[in-house]
Amino acid sequence: MEITWNITDMKRDITGIVKIIYYSIAAKDVDSNYEDVYNFTINVKREPNSPEIINYEDLTQEQVIAWVKNKLGQERVTKIENRLTNKSITSKIHNNNLNLETGLPW
Contacts 24+ apart (CB under 8 A), 58-64: 59/18, 61/6, 61/7, 64/7, 64/10, 64/18, 64/21, 64/23
* Main-chain dihedrals φ then ψ at residue 46, nearest 5 degrees: -130, 145
> What whole-number distance in Å separates Cα of residue 69 and Cα of residue 83?
16
Name the pTM for this structure: 0.73
Reading the chain (106 residues) residue by residue, the pLDDT tens digits are 889 999 999 999 888 888 899 999 998 887 766 788 889 998 877 666 666 667 788 899 999 999 899 989 999 999 988 888 887 666 666 656 555 566 677 7
